[in-house]
Amino acid sequence: MPSAMEGSEGGEEGEILRYEETEDDNVSPTDLSELLKEGTKESHDRAENTQFVKDFLKGRIKKELFKLATVALYFTYSALEEEMDRNKDNQVFAPLYFPLELHRREALVKDLKYFYGEDWKEKIQCSEATQHYVDRIHHVGQHEPELLVAHAYTRYMGDLSGGQVLKKVAQRALKLPSTDEGIQFYMFDNISNAQQFKQLYRARMNALDLDKNTKERVVEEANRAFRFNMQV
């Protein structure tokens, strides 16, 4: 499953798996956004070099495989957004609750209807690898909600950057309609400026009241999230 991490759109076959596009003079090395950036670099490199991502970026993506990736994303985001809803008033996550701007489940339902038809629910199933990812998200949301930020950060921040490159590649390679059917997942209609939103999101992350040990656990969980994405 493509974990569409942040990056520049300068070259679709070059590096896209980068979260930080601009330097912010106001951040400290102990800020969560900086710890995540530094602490997940190795995972970024590994994710960016998976065969699936390399083939995807070169436009070598089969529709059946893209459909299966969309199914995996549906189960993943359904779990993630269920746990985010559960913790929307929990102080360890509440500042990062942006359902209108970020939530992807309804967009993925539209994509699944496009690819599988109105009876899409009967035609899809959760793979074993995706189920492991889903189970971990539910565990975190219900037992360690302070780690939920790791999963939200790993997915949404990437969807707003590298995901926009993947959208163009998929649309062209799969000859999808110019009216954006099949790629609603990549459309963020309620975010007018992705770069500004990501800066706001990182500022909110850095303002979370987390001690040093908890921040380290968040970084560890983000690396775990990368591994789940690569396994899927």
- Both tokens of 38, joined, read 């530094």
Residues 48 and 44: their CA atoms lie apart, in Å, by 6
Residues 53 and 130: their CA atoms lie apart, in Å, by 17
- The CB density around residue 226, as the number of other CB atoms within 10 Å, is 21
Residues 81 and 87: their CA atoms lie apart, in Å, by 10
User: How many Å separate Cα 74 from the centre of its chain?
Assistant: 12
Output the pLDDT for position 46: 92
Output the pLDDT for position 27: 79
Output the pLDDT for position 117: 98
Domains and CATH numbers, the chain: 32-231 (1.20.910.10)
Residues making up the binding site: 37, 44, 153, 202
Residues 195 and 89: their CA atoms lie apart, in Å, by 26
Output the pLDDT for position 42: 95
Question: Tens digit of pLDDT per residue, the chain (232 long)?
Answer: 766 555 433 444 444 445 545 555 577 999 999 999 999 999 988 988 888 889 998 999 999 999 999 999 999 999 999 999 999 999 999 999 999 999 999 999 999 999 999 999 999 999 999 999 999 999 999 999 999 999 999 999 989 988 888 999 999 999 999 999 999 999 999 999 999 999 999 999 999 999 999 999 999 999 999 999 999 9
User: How many Å separate Cα 44 from the centre of its chain?
Assistant: 13
Residues 43 and 40: their CA atoms lie apart, in Å, by 5
Residues making up the binding site for heme b: 37, 44, 153, 202
Output the pLDDT for position 119: 98
